[in-house]
Amino acid sequence: MPELPEIEHLRSTLRPALLGRTVTSVKVLRHDVIREPATEATDDRGGTPSGRSLLASQRIVGLERRGKQLAIVGDAGTAICIHLGMSGRLLVRPQPLPVDCVPPHTHCIWRLRDSHRRSALLFVDPRRFGGIWSFPSLASLFEQRWRRLGPDAASISAAQLRSALRQVQRPVKAVLLDQSKLAGLGNIYVDESLFRAAIHPRRSADSLSDAELRRLARSIRLVLLQAIQAGGSTIRDYVDGNGRAGAAQARHCVYGRGGLPCLACGQALAADRILQRTTVFCEHCQPTGEEMMVKKASLSLR
């Protein structure tokens, strides 16, 4: 479940492995992971999706991130956007590739070289919630895709948060998960941020005071920064570009700890479902404030 910290850490581990390398060929093993906008061109042999729109024969000159999405930029301008979804990985492997270095569910392989080394970049995604989008330029990626994303969570300000939550009568957790409002948070870091800010996940988004907005913005930035520094959270799938797991999961205060004692007050943590997502919080440390809550629809009996 890579969220912003995992992607940011991945970016930093991929940078030395990719920047300056030239893509000698691209092999798409599973075509449907290449998403819109469709790759219109085909290669010389016809039929298979074009290598060029997937960076073939380009030198890699940039690695960008917005929210949970990564972009690899080539020197001909092409920008491919990669979203890892739930279970996606990007791995750098030696080339030629020993058979046991190609994991199951490898969908795309970029072969790379520089003056003295060959390597390969693999996109692996068992659940296929992820995907790859190609754009002729970084500018068109911004205009067509990243424009739909809210401000990046790693640098969110209280003012940006205020405008994202303004006039929204939904649980604050639901809004924080909405990538068009705020880009980068997933289930783990939303729960961690709300716990740190001592805000109940079901509070109506528009009910947060200025003090709470400042606290929440600061908590989000801090939780993400600490997770980036710890190399991201490895719950099940995530590994960085070198195949290494992260360590941030050891710092989680609430995620995955439903029923266990709150690290602050000792009371058993509550587990609930918001937007079909398991939500863990402390009823004591994250008080409700009754009239500010979004009620569960199922509670409207009588």
Partner DNA sequence: CCGGACTCCTGTGCGC
Partner DNA sequence: TGCGCACAGGAGTCCG
**Interface residue list for DNA (CB under 7 A):** 1, 3, 67-69, 83, 85-87, 104-105, 126-129, 148, 168-171, 174, 177, 179, 186-188, 236, 275-278, 294, 297
Q: Give the shortest CB-269-to-DNA separation in angstroms.
A: 13
273 is catalytic: no
- DSSP-H helix ranges across the chain: 4-18, 138-144, 158-165, 172-176, 187-196, 210-229
What does the alpha-carbon distance between residue 22 and residue 45 come to, in Å, rounded to a whole number?
21
> What is the smallest separation between the CB atom of 2 and DNA, expressed in angstroms?
8
Whichever of 58 and 286 has its CB closer to DNA, that residue is 286
Contact 286, 204 (CB under 8 A): no
Task: Kindly state the smallest distance separating residue 274's Cβ from DNA, in Å.
Answer: 7
2 among known catalytic residues: yes
Q: Which of 35, 214, 218, 277 is catalytic?
A: 277
Active-site residue (options: 11, 52, 68, 145): 68
Q: For residues 21 and 181, which CB has a smaller minimum distance to DNA in the complex?
A: 181
Closer residue to DNA, CB minimum distance, 188 or 270: 188
CA 180/CA 138 separation, integer angstroms:
19
Q: How far apart are CA 55 and CA 68, in angstroms?
A: 21
Name the minimum Å distance from CB 131 to DNA.
9
- Write down the least CB distance from residue 275 to DNA, Å: 6
- 207 and 22 in contact (C-beta within 8 Å)? no
Give the DSSP H/E element, type plus range, for residue 62.
strand 60-66
User: Can you tell me which residue has the tokens 């939500």?
Assistant: 279
Torsion angles phi and psi, residue 150, rounded to 5: -75, -175
Q: Which residue, 115 or 276, is less far from DNA as judged by CB?
A: 276
Cβ nearer to DNA, comparing 26 with 81: 81
Active site residue 3: yes
3-state helix/strand/coil string of 80-116: EEEECCCCCEEEEEECCCCHHHCCCCEEEEEEEEECC
Strand-pairing partners, residue 90, are 123
Considering the candidates 3, 8, 192, 212, report the single residue annotated as catalytic: 3
Mind telling me the catalytic residues?
2-3, 68, 277
